[in-house]
Chains A and B, each alone.
Chain A
Amino acid sequence: MATLTVSRPPVGGFNFENCKRNAVLEGEVTKLGCSLPAARKTGTTICGVVFKDGVVLGADTRATEGMIVADKNCSKIHYISPNIYCCGAGTAADTEMTTQIISSNLELHSLSTGRLPRVATANRMLKQMLFRYQGYIGAALVLGGVDCNGPHLYSIYPHGSTDKLPYVTMGSGSLAAMAVFEDRFKPDMEEADAKLLVRDAIAAGIFNDLGSGSNIDLCVITKGNVDYIRPHDEANKKGVRTGDYKYKRGTTSVLTKVVTPLNLEVMDESVQTMDTS
């Protein structure tokens, strides 16, 4: 039996139908005295630097929900392709999904061309998608990688503008990190110097910006090799308690002890295995 389907042409862009509903909900919720959940933002310090043989990307690991740390050790350096990685600041969901979408499309593109993808291609795809959504996708990215034309580093803003530079920083801690870069960056650094510089820049963000914190992740990309170092530096280790509130055995003296064994018979034993694959 054939079914008649009316095909609606695909409508692009966001669906804003729920905005009215959200406004009504917000009004009702304030009457009850509670508040709606806020989108989780990665306060963040992310940065990247081009050195002699490649690029070094760095990020902190704190994700905040308003004033509360939602994740003390989240991963902000996302995989795009074997030779390209992307740090994300802004709305956590937006950076995660945007990088995954572009990574997927880039893999298909790479299979079509039969070549390793280029950083400029990833940049084009990201900027064209973000421009299409006119800044509503809150993803501020630092894209870096090494391709057939050498090492490249881009910063991509939520509205879709990009800058190609030898060193970039993004996120709420970007000013602190940029101060470190402007002081100590030199073209054609060695890998060790570059890693130290990025580590110090992220550390500046972690210790001087409230929105950034926890550990420092690094990603070193060179021709034919990627070092994903997570964590590179545990800048904020959880402290060890010096005291203990537990009372020692014997604080309360035992006067009598009565042991009553409960004789229970095993009636039925069944095992249900969980699929942990």
Chain B
Amino acid sequence: MPDFVQRVSAKNELVPEWASQEVSTGTTIMAVEYDGGVVIGADSRTTTGAYIANRVTDKLTQIHERIYCCRSGSAADTQAIADVVTYQLGFHSIELDEPPLVETAANLFKASCYRYREELTAGILVAGWDKRKGGQVYCVPIGGMLVRQPVSVGGSGSTYIYGFMDSNYKPGMTKDKCMELTATALSLAMERDGSSGGVVRLASISEEGVERRVILGNELPRFSTH
């Protein structure tokens, strides 16, 4: 007799456990500064328990013309926070009659994430370009801290690539080298982390504007393990 164990929730036999679990962006996200802009990247997997709810998620969310955020943690929490900050920043920008600063956007994220730190599960990387300081990456992890870093990784898959990042990042890299570094790092993380996978989404933000790219599964860099 086949032994198929289907984990069903105790509350209702007909509704499997994954159906009542919250949707989380398991995730690997990364952001790198270079002279003249930033490169950001993310995987594309959203999970509810062990089921992949969306295998082509776009975790690189536009907050303003040249400011993006990379979302990790609870999908509902990060989508809601991003919507709120997009509104606040848009309003602020109209009042200023000037493109907003990346630091402003990062502080708006921090304000929401810190105030509601007990209720939220959100790890966010804010990255973009502004006239004052050029390309910047700000890290707003769970808890609501704010710190600027030249390179930052986040999400459940980030733990697998700290070593790679530390040994391969050098200050003063070109945009294309940063893209390559990000794509390789994300591929490595997606290889090892079950909650990360799908395609690699990349974006580069500079004074010229935003350039988006998708690297499909079969085009990802391969490693000696296969």
- A163 contacts the other chain (Cβ, under 8 Å)? yes
Chain A residues with CB under 8 A of B147: none
- B23 contacts the other chain (Cβ, under 8 Å)? yes
- A186 contacts the other chain (Cβ, under 8 Å)? no
Pair A160/B76 contact, Cβ less than 8 Å: yes
- A43 contacts the other chain (Cβ, under 8 Å)? yes
Chain A residues with CB under 8 A of B22: 135, 157, 159
- A150 contacts the other chain (Cβ, under 8 Å)? no
- B167 contacts the other chain (Cβ, under 8 Å)? no
Where chain B touches its partner, the secondary structure class is: mixed
Chain A residues with CB under 8 A of B53: 155, 157, 163
Interface size class of B (residues with CB under 8 A): 20 to 34
Q: Please, how many angstroms separate the alpha-carbon atoms of A156 and B48 in the complex?
A: 13
Chain B residues with CB under 8 A of A67: 13-14
Chain B residues with CB under 8 A of A159: 22-23, 74-76
Chain A residues with CB under 8 A of B57: 163
Q: Please, how many angstroms separate the alpha-carbon atoms of A135 and B121 in the complex?
A: 14
Q: Which of B12, B16, B76 contacts A161 (CB 8 A)?
A: B76
A210 and B75 contact, Cβ closer than 8 Å, known pairs A160-B80, A163-B53, A163-B57: no
Chain B residues with CB under 8 A of A140: 19
Q: Please, how many angstroms separate the alpha-carbon atoms of A171 and B19 in the complex?
A: 7
Q: Which of B12, B54, B83 contacts A163 (CB 8 A)?
A: B54
Nearest neighbor of B54 in chain A, beta-carbon distance: A163
Q: Please, how many angstroms separate the alpha-carbon atoms of A218 and B76 in the complex?
A: 29
- A185 contacts the other chain (Cβ, under 8 Å)? no
Pair A175/B51 contact, Cβ less than 8 Å: yes
- A215 contacts the other chain (Cβ, under 8 Å)? no
A window 20-39: CB within 8 A of B: 38
Nearest neighbor of B8 in chain A, beta-carbon distance: A172
- Count how many chain A residues have C-beta atoms less than 8 Å from C-beta atoms of the other chain: 28
Pair A41/B14 contact, Cβ less than 8 Å: yes
Chain A residues with CB under 8 A of B19: 140, 171-172, 174
Nearest neighbor of B18 in chain A, beta-carbon distance: A175
- A211 contacts the other chain (Cβ, under 8 Å)? yes
Nearest neighbor of A209 in chain B, beta-carbon distance: B14
Pair A165/B56 contact, Cβ less than 8 Å: yes
A41 and B15 contact, Cβ closer than 8 Å, known pairs A159-B22, A163-B46, A163-B54: yes
B window 188-216: CB within 8 A of A: none
Chain B residues with CB under 8 A of A211: 14-15
Chain A residues with CB under 8 A of B76: 127, 130-131, 135, 157, 159-161
User: In whole Å, how far is B159's beta carbon from the nearest beta carbon of chain A?
Assistant: 24
- A66 contacts the other chain (Cβ, under 8 Å)? yes
Chain B residues with CB under 8 A of A128: 80, 83
User: In whole Å, how far is B104's beta carbon from the nearest beta carbon of chain A?
Assistant: 24
Which of A38, A124, A140, A172 neighbours the largest number of chain B CB atoms within 10 Å of its CB? A172
Interface, chain A (partner B; CB < 8 A): 38, 41, 43, 64, 66-67, 124, 127-128, 130-131, 134-135, 140, 155, 157, 159-163, 165, 171-172, 174-175, 210-211
Interface, chain B (partner A; CB < 8 A): 12-16, 19, 22-23, 46, 48, 51, 53-54, 56-57, 74-76, 79-80, 83, 119
Q: Return the 3 tightest CB-CB contacts between A and B, nearest first.
A: A161-B75, A211-B14, A159-B76
14 A/B residue pairs, CB under 8 Å, sorted by A: A66-B12, A127-B79, A128-B80, A140-B19, A157-B76, A159-B22, A160-B79, A163-B46, A163-B53, A163-B54, A165-B54, A165-B56, A172-B15, A211-B14
Give 19 A-B pairs besides A64-B14, A163-B54 with Cβ atoms closer than 8 angstroms.
A43-B15, A127-B80, A130-B76, A131-B76, A134-B119, A155-B54, A159-B74, A160-B79, A161-B23, A161-B75, A163-B53, A165-B54, A165-B56, A171-B19, A172-B14, A172-B15, A172-B16, A172-B19, A211-B14
